[in-house]
A and B are shown apart, each in its own frame.
Chain A
């Protein structure tokens, strides 16, 4: 491991943590434009964080230490996940320790913490949100794994940098029909996992319809800031997983120098801008599904990912 690798490893995490609010701001801005509203500032999420960190936290009297620890655990899990996703470079020493299956495990850990914290204070909306979140999670995780299996099967590895390298090293542009299925499935999982329309509505004020929001209703100040930041980071991570699997071009190879890394960051920003705009379009044209349609939606994602696997196997033989 050389010094540059260490820098790029640390830098990748810092970059993800720093850029995640910007992506959230960009999506909100695109949504506003598409709905012919005047858009909030791109920097609004940063201002929200500053505001929340300055406030004094109020805690429910029944809150246990778990409730206070959960925001740190969730944020930590998301930051760790950012460390093993090759968003800028494939030269990630940590990615060799943890593969993409561990990544799914990290997301699951965060989910368990936030659901436990939601039930900890015993309010009706927290428990309801936790219940719904676990339902979504238990359907979304297998679908995400199936999507990842598509890539694993193609490159014979569960490590994301290897998958990126495999695509970049391939001669010319090869079309993988299996990835088309996996791509659609991945977008569906991304929407469900990040509390976006059509599964959840991040902008709603209706407490009985919420999923993610109802779990964090009792949080305030720095705890809420960390939770919000972690959920933006989750969206950022998901976008980057999508890039590694489907559009890895622009990610710097192991041999790249500092200039190559800078170029890779520019590529990343461009891809995030497009992905954010596409997400905003999807959210604008669709309505939220009735909650019991969510299983159908996620089963469809699972089915598509399995179809991708089948297509791959058929074309191989």
Chain B
């Protein structure tokens, strides 16, 4: 163990219910910093940072930081008196913390002591000084919208133009504002503003029953619905010590991999479309559409909303469906392999992909890149491989990585992951274990914290669930990996031409809705 590692992170760490190894530790401000330094030194990722209002319990507001070590998750909690909710900023150690801290202030009024103080999620939907996630603010309360200009960081100099793209775009896509400073066609700086789709999901969770909230979790981010609902169910099942049957877990794995495949197929087509190669788009769209239609037949949902339920899954797979699914996998493997060859041999496509939007491994490590974008830039981490939960502990998935960090690398990782996911699906379908579709999940006692951590297609989806009395929910933090990876885009675009921005953005394909919450 390295010398920087403080003892309290081992001795005072209390195990947490989770689908992966996890523990929590209560710290004061000094140890909050000490823990962060140790985590940075140990190469941990900041998984999420969130706040909670515990004034009704112990007159405190709390800030929580979840770190992902190679072998476990550590949740560090720091309590502050309600009249002075200020904690040491983590942004210099973990750049991803900056926006999380701003969002935590907007929602709960807990402020980091340094760094960027501009609002992040608050776009004028509620006034300054009101913190909607606090317990004394009713979920039904509304305020007149008062919007004030957002102070973007100004860029000046000879021949520098400021260019605003969004938040409303020319296509039907989610809202996000991209403030580009350009010299001619070259991008000097990009600043992203998000938060346009903030829906107050955290507040909504607090009004829901434990047995019902998986449906809300599934709807946080429509392209990662299995990942979010599984993360919720994993947290709840860990708290209540209930274990779904092996069959239910494998069916969840199938659903998660199908979600990954569908998104990768969509992105591979979309990337070709963004460079004007519409052939790739139509081919991949048709493959994705077939997969989604099969989802509807097999699981009753195209995008698999509500398939993962507490204790198991919503519907079982009939034995007669298996041969068709195996055929589908073989056909997809062939088609994806063929298209990969076409992409590799297409000079015009490769000319656009290679070298565009490069995020070097050093930059990725410094910024704390996670998930797919991280793997394309040499951050060789995948929860399915590093901390496999059931059923991945039995199936040893292979890691797809690259150190190039450009658009081509993110395309390559997508191709490899798609083929690997197909292999996993085949392996599971060939030996589908027996078991109950769903097991009983008892009502959890109040005040229990559980962590669900699932490697979604974009990266690790984390959900921290704290139970409330009478089968209710006290606080639920659902974290999308886009929080960590949005800042990467601002670095990857530097020095590229502005006309390549959509392509580079698409190669990351980060979530707006999942991020904004």
- Which of A34-42, A239-247, A300-308 contacts the other chain? A34-42
- Which B-chain residue is minimally distant from A209 (CB atoms)? B499
Question: Binary interface profile of B, 279-305, with partner A (CB < 8 Å = 1, else 0)?
Answer: 101110010000000000000000000
Tell me if B189 is interfacial: C-beta within 8 Å of chain A: no
Interface positions, chain A 248-304, Cβ under 8 Å from B, are 284-293
Interface positions, chain B 2-28, Cβ under 8 Å from A, are none
- Kindly name the residue among A206, A207, A287 whose own CB sees the greatest number of chain B CB atoms within 10 A: A287
B185/A291 in contact, CB under 8 A: yes
Residues of B within 8 A of A187 (CB): none
B497/A284 in contact, CB under 8 A: no
Docked Cα-Cα span, A285 to B162, in Å, equals 35
> Closest Cβ of chain B: how far from A281's Cβ, in Å?
11
> Closest Cβ of chain B: how far from A223's Cβ, in Å?
18
> Closest Cβ of chain A: how far from B111's Cβ, in Å?
35
Docked Cα-Cα span, A34 to B162, in Å, equals 40
Interface positions, chain A 31-49, Cβ under 8 Å from B, are 31, 34-37
Tell me if A104 is interfacial: C-beta within 8 Å of chain B: no
Tell me if A14 is interfacial: C-beta within 8 Å of chain B: no
> Closest Cβ of chain A: how far from B240's Cβ, in Å?
47
Given known A205-B170, A207-B169, contact A124–B164 (CB-CB < 8 A): yes
Given known A36-B282, A124-B163, A209-B499, contact A287–B171 (CB-CB < 8 A): no
Tell me if B125 is interfacial: C-beta within 8 Å of chain A: no
A290/B352 in contact, CB under 8 A: yes
Docked Cα-Cα span, A286 to B276, in Å, equals 8
Question: Binary interface profile of B, 495-506, with partner A (CB < 8 Å = 1, else 0)?
Answer: 001111111000
Residues of B within 8 A of A31 (CB): 278
A290/B278 in contact, CB under 8 A: no
Question: Binary interface profile of B, 154-177, with partner A (CB < 8 Å = 1, else 0)?
Answer: 000000011111000111100000
Tell me if B351 is interfacial: C-beta within 8 Å of chain A: yes
Residues of A within 8 A of B499 (CB): 208-209, 290-291
Tell me if B478 is interfacial: C-beta within 8 Å of chain A: no
- Which B-chain residue is minimally distant from A135 (CB atoms)? B185
A36/B171 in contact, CB under 8 A: no
Question: Binary interface profile of B, 99-118, with partner A (CB < 8 Å = 1, else 0)?
Answer: 00000000000000000000
B497/A292 in contact, CB under 8 A: yes
Residues of B within 8 A of A37 (CB): 282
Docked Cα-Cα span, A37 to B282, in Å, equals 7
Residues of A within 8 A of B172 (CB): 205
Residues of A within 8 A of B349 (CB): 287
Which residue in A34, A287, A292 is a CB contact (below 8 Å) of B348? A287
Question: Binary interface profile of A, 123-144, with partner B (CB < 8 Å = 1, else 0)?
Answer: 0100010000000000000000
> Closest Cβ of chain B: how far from A116's Cβ, in Å?
19
Tell me if A198 is interfacial: C-beta within 8 Å of chain B: yes
Docked Cα-Cα span, A207 to B168, in Å, equals 11
B279/A290 in contact, CB under 8 A: no
Which residue in B161, B352, B502 is a CB contact (below 8 Å) of A287? B352
Docked Cα-Cα span, A244 to B169, in Å, equals 42
> Closest Cβ of chain A: how far from B188's Cβ, in Å?
15
> Closest Cβ of chain B: how far from A32's Cβ, in Å?
9
Given known A207-B170, A217-B170, A284-B279, contact A198–B498 (CB-CB < 8 A): no
Given known A208-B502, A291-B185, contact A198–B497 (CB-CB < 8 A): no
Docked Cα-Cα span, A205 to B165, in Å, equals 12
A204/B276 in contact, CB under 8 A: yes
- Which A-chain residue is minimally distant from B350 (CB atoms)? A287
Which residue in B161, B348, B501 is a CB contact (below 8 Å) of A208? B501
- Which B-chain residue is minimally distant from A36 (CB atoms)? B282
Docked Cα-Cα span, A37 to B279, in Å, equals 9
B282/A287 in contact, CB under 8 A: no
- Which B-chain residue is minimally distant from A203 (CB atoms)? B278
A35/B274 in contact, CB under 8 A: no
B278/A288 in contact, CB under 8 A: no
Interface positions, chain A 176-215, Cβ under 8 Å from B, are 197-198, 201, 203-209
Residues of A within 8 A of B286 (CB): 36
- Which B-chain residue is minimally distant from A204 (CB atoms)? B276
Given known A35-B282, A36-B282, A201-B276, contact A287–B346 (CB-CB < 8 A): yes
Docked Cα-Cα span, A162 to B165, in Å, equals 51
Tell me if B428 is interfacial: C-beta within 8 Å of chain A: no
Which residue in A201, A205, A293 is a CB contact (below 8 Å) of B351? A293
A205/B348 in contact, CB under 8 A: no
Interface positions, chain A 58-100, Cβ under 8 Å from B, are none
- Kindly name the residue among B275, B286, B351 whose own CB sees the greatest number of chain A CB atoms within 10 A: B275
Residues of A within 8 A of B79 (CB): none
A208/B498 in contact, CB under 8 A: yes
- Which B-chain residue is minimally distant from A200 (CB atoms)? B276
Tell me if B226 is interfacial: C-beta within 8 Å of chain A: no
Docked Cα-Cα span, A201 to B351, in Å, equals 17
Tell me if B272 is interfacial: C-beta within 8 Å of chain A: yes
Residues of A within 8 A of B185 (CB): 291-292
Residues of A within 8 A of B131 (CB): none
> Closest Cβ of chain A: how far from B370's Cβ, in Å?
27
- Kindly name the residue among B162, B180, B276, B502 whose own CB sees the greatest number of chain A CB atoms within 10 A: B276
Tell me if B392 is interfacial: C-beta within 8 Å of chain A: no
Docked Cα-Cα span, A208 to B502, in Å, equals 7
Residues of A within 8 A of B274 (CB): 206, 209
Residues of A within 8 A of B501 (CB): 208-209
Tell me if B277 is interfacial: C-beta within 8 Å of chain A: yes
- Kindly name the residue among B278, B281, B497 whose own CB sees the greatest number of chain A CB atoms within 10 A: B278
A287/B276 in contact, CB under 8 A: yes
Residues of B within 8 A of A286 (CB): 276-277, 348
Residues of B within 8 A of A36 (CB): 282-283, 286
B163/A287 in contact, CB under 8 A: no
Residues of B within 8 A of A289 (CB): 348, 351-352
Residues of B within 8 A of A201 (CB): 276
Which residue in A209, A287, A290 is a CB contact (below 8 Å) of B272? A287
Please report B residues at the A interface, Cβ cutoff 8 Å: 161-165, 169-172, 180, 185, 272, 274-279, 281-283, 286, 346, 348-349, 351-352, 497-503
Q: A205-B170, A208-B502 are in contact. List 12 more A-B contacts (CB 8 A).
A: A206-B170, A206-B502, A207-B169, A208-B165, A208-B180, A287-B272, A287-B277, A287-B352, A288-B275, A288-B276, A291-B185, A292-B185
Please report A residues at the B interface, Cβ cutoff 8 Å: 31, 34-37, 124, 128, 197-198, 201, 203-209, 217, 284-293
7 A-B pairs whose Cβ atoms sit less than 8 Å apart in the complex = A124-B163, A128-B498, A209-B502, A290-B499, A290-B500, A291-B185, A291-B499
